[in-house]
Structure 1
Amino acid sequence: MPADRTPTTRIGRTARIGGLVAGQGARVAGGKLLDKARTDDSRERAQRKRTAAIVEQIVVQLGSMKGAAMKFGQVLSTVDLPGLEPEDSERIKTRLAELRDSAPHVPFRRMEQLMAKEWGRPLARVLADIDEDAIAAASIGQVYRAETRDGTPVAIKVQYPGIAEAVESDLRNLQLLLPLLGRIAPGLDTAAMGRELRERITEELDYELEAQSQRQMVRAWRGHPFVRIPAVDTEHSTRRVLVTELIEDGAPFAAVKERDDDVRDEFAEIVYRFFYGCVSRLDLACGDPHPGNFLRLPDGSVSFFDFGMMRRLPSGYARREAQVFGAIRAQDPAGVTRALDGLGYLPDGWDFPDELLYEHMRRSGAYLFEWEQPARLSGAAAHALMESVLSIGGDWRRMVRSFNVPPEGLLVRRMENILFGVACDLRAAADWGSLWAEFFLDEPADTALGRLERDWALDRAA
């Protein structure tokens, strides 16, 4: 298990981020000087590669740190930042996944001390047993398998010691990064993005808030035919320790990937139904649909956990996003522009043709609108989608660098991109367009799972 060399002092973390900003800022300035001697085409290529290199360095450097820095890097890697080529974006996501999966663990002795402090008594007074080897590690904590004194198997998520102080320092230091992002993506409202990330990451530090969100999920999905949410042990959960029901008999994502088509397809549809159902029915964006956060149970249902990064969406937000989808289906370029402008994706001074924006959105969502359904997604299918978008031509590259990512949409876009990657990784097939229309346009459910879910919703309403 790798040693943890993450800088923990305020000075050390400030030095890491400050050095990153200084180095990449110099790359921007130097590149602009060289651009003056280039032709238009070579300047465009150089700018694209420079943007990719800068964002990759930001994401990789932040991804190697715990706390807010790592979380900031994770969010950036899964949002389609303006100016990034799709293939560069995919490479950056892969690099961050490698960093996340190889994250160093904190020794149990230090985590035990924190648990004892939170509970106000030794572990033996609370637990009958605990496995000292963590079963999972994330940006701000580790998870352990344990058993309470009354014999209940539980999962215990414990914050890293000192992580709250590190996050406080990071959130101040990350202000240094926002102007750099603004230089490589001029249309991006970096101030709004910074505020949104500060709010979400600060909330994620409070496990009592996460426990509240998880209890809300338990209530919202109670009795569902194929979604399971572990119960929260309220008695033993604190601000820095979260105790929940332990799910031990589930198959992880890696095992599901090896199953037959029908199992993978059903699993992918359930995952989509859960996360998009939260957006469209509960006005909630779950910002961390990482494959490590759901398990396939023996009966085919899926258990979901980790509700630290959540956002309450404005009432009816899904309906407003649906206007984009509806305008694309209606082949209405002006309608696409109006809908995206109303959502905040187009900055002031937007002057690109409706037809160009429509073509970008149509090709980006071709697997929903145009591919024969059910469509089987895969790495090759994602590559074909990417190649189609890259071939648009004209002012397309300048246009995508001008996009904004509004605060309300940040976690929704992160969720959307991760889920598309999950479906491609699973090589899953579904009628993706009908699924989207069911959730956002209230069109009738057209699958066996959809009909089960509809009957469950009707029973709850009755």
Structure 2
Amino acid sequence: MGGVGARMASGRMLGRAVDQQALGADLRQALGSLKGPVMKIAQILSTIPDALPRDMAAELAQLQAQAPSMGAQFVKRRMRAELGSGWSERFQSFEREACAAASLGQVHRAIGPGGEDLAVKLQYPDMASTVEADLAQLDWLLSLYKRYDRSIDTRHIREELAARLREELDYGREARHITLYRAMLADEPQVHVPALYPDLSTDRLLTMGWLQGSPLLHFKDADLETRNRLAIHLFRAWYIPFHRYGVIHGDPHLGNYTARDDLAINLLDFGCVRVFPPAFVGGVIDLYRALRDGDRDLAAHAYESWGFQNLSDELIDVLNIWATFLYAPLMEDRPRLINAAEQPGQYGAETAAKVHKKLKELGPVTPPREFVFMDRAAIGLGGVFLHLRAEVNWYQLFQGIIEDFSVESLAIRQARALAEAGL
């Protein structure tokens, strides 16, 4: 990572052109070996068209499902540690080579004792200490950021990233997330959540039913109707849990979804799930209505309900710039792209730069912890929609989900669903 930073810095200081593909390859190798929070940042960046140079984005996109994997002897030792010496007898077959590898573990295909097609997610060894080391790296990066830019106080960002990442180490918790999602999306026939196999799972091993599907990028050049159907199913898969249960999938990058032959969506990973207080979700709806109706007082109430403090009129105006950018597709009652700008990624970067400049003038802002993954998820999901180039009436989709919204009813549904899932 130090070498990558030095190459970037020297190129900037000396005015040299940097080979973006080579730099991207170096970053992919460094981030893939870290297998932690910094890699997740790269995954999100790679999903947003135009956010990074094309060659670099192509290299980093490989991190989504193909981080460097571990060998067969490692797999045997790890499986023995989780299921005992006779572990292989509990499967009809087990592929020793991983079919996918990501930040905290790798996935193997297997056939269960009853002939079931399985996805077996095996955590890398000693990941708890690895994550803590990566968080120390993140502290270093954030302290470096703080030295030259004080517009955003990052302490809550670090706290939130650390809390979610430590949760992801607990595959028992992820199993409960799967149970939760199966309940929340039980009435959505176009969204599939894998079955859970508790007898073949531990706190570091998660065995699920295999969901057959194709990567979403395979549909990038499909006809518009196909791309629109995929986008609608994705929209419902993400927004229904949030607006009806206060739960989000906090890592909505391309590698966490596949599409079936009938264009139904498979959800593949449930490690990064965030549960929000009902009042926070109420604030999301309030801000939408405030922007729609030009109601400054309601906008201030929404930000306060999220935990923003010391709100001046100027700060509200700056926050509204970013909020208007995020909410824009939900405001127009017509089919449209999620971002209709000629270069959507560049447009997003320009909006973020405008907000950043204003925040530097107004002094440091401390984003509440809950805001961190909400914002990240919104950007990640928008990146998926950008790749699909879907032209959908997002307004009508959104209205259909929030039409009977109330904080009180969400609180009741949430409490019941969390209790039933053991969360």
TM-score higher than 0.5: yes
2:417 aligns to what?
Answer: none
1:282 aligns to what?
Answer: 245
TM-aligned CA deviation for residue 283 of structure 1: 1.2
User: Is there any run of 5+ residues in structure 2 with no aligned partner, and where?
Assistant: 14-23, 406-423
| 1:243 partner SS | strand
| 2:271 partner SS | coil
1:339 aligns to what?
Answer: 302
Task: Report which of the two structures shows the higher radius of gyration computed on alpha carbons.
Answer: 1
Determine which of 200, 204, 211 is the counterpart of 2:175: 211
CA distance in 1, matches of 2:105, 2:133: 17
Residue-by-residue CA offset, 1:169-213 (whole Å, 9 max, x unaligned): 323443333322333442433221111111111110111111111
| 1:303 partner SS | strand
2:357 aligns to what?
Answer: 398
CA distance in 2, matches of 1:246, 1:154: 5
The change in CA–CA distance for 1:20 and 1:308 in structure 2 (over 3 A counts) is farther
CA distance in 1, matches of 2:330, 2:400: 12
1:434 aligns to what?
Answer: 396
2:273 aligned with 1:305: no
2:336 aligned with 1:375: yes
CA distance in 2, matches of 1:348, 1:100: 39
Determine which of 367, 370, 373 is the counterpart of 1:411: 373
CA distance in 1, matches of 2:180, 2:156: 27
1:448 aligns to what?
Answer: none
2:284 maps to a residue whose letter is E
Q: How does 1:163-174 map to 2 (within 5 A)?
A: 163-174=127-138
1:201 aligns to what?
Answer: 165
The answer to whether the 8 Å contact 2:45/2:51 transfers is no
Q: How does 1:182-331 map to 2 (within 5 A)?
A: 182-248=146-212, 250-331=213-294
1:51 aligns to what?
Answer: none
Aligned residue pairs, count: 392
Q: Which moved further from structure 2: 347-356 or 176-185?
A: 347-356
| 1:155 partner SS | strand
TM-aligned CA deviation for residue 23 of structure 1: 6.6
Q: TM-score, normalized by length of structure 2?
A: 0.79
CA distance in 2, matches of 1:59, 1:182: 22
1:131 aligns to what?
Answer: 95
The change in CA–CA distance for 1:342 and 1:113 in structure 2 (over 3 A counts) is same
The answer to whether the 8 Å contact 2:246/2:277 transfers is yes
CA distance in 1, matches of 2:97, 2:29: 27
Q: Which moved further from structure 2: 186-195 or 238-247?
A: 186-195
The answer to whether the 8 Å contact 2:46/2:61 transfers is no
Identity of aligned residues (%): 27
User: Is there any run of 5+ residues in structure 1 with no aligned partner, and where?
Assistant: 1-15, 32-55, 81-85, 444-462
2:416 aligns to what?
Answer: none
Residue-by-residue CA offset, 1:145-186 (whole Å, 9 max, x unaligned): 101233221110111223333123323443333322333442
CA distance in 1, matches of 2:351, 2:272: 35
Q: Which moved further from structure 2: 310-319 or 206-215?
A: 310-319
CA distance in 2, matches of 1:200, 1:206: 10
TM-aligned CA deviation for residue 241 of structure 1: 1.0
| 2:92 partner SS | strand
The answer to whether the 8 Å contact 1:127/1:147 transfers is yes
TM-aligned CA deviation for residue 247 of structure 1: 1.5
The change in CA–CA distance for 1:22 and 1:96 in structure 2 (over 3 A counts) is closer
CA distance in 2, matches of 1:137, 1:324: 38
1:423 maps to a residue whose letter is F
CA distance in 1, matches of 2:385, 2:348: 19
TM-aligned CA deviation for residue 104 of structure 1: 1.6
User: With CA pairs under 8 Å and 6+ residues apart, which has the higher RCO, 1 or 2?
Assistant: 2
2:86 aligned with 1:116: no
TM-aligned CA deviation for residue 21 of structure 1: 12
Over the aligned positions, Cα root-mean-square deviation in angstroms equals: 3.8
2:34 aligned with 1:66: yes
| 1:242 partner SS | strand
CA distance in 1, matches of 2:154, 2:85: 45
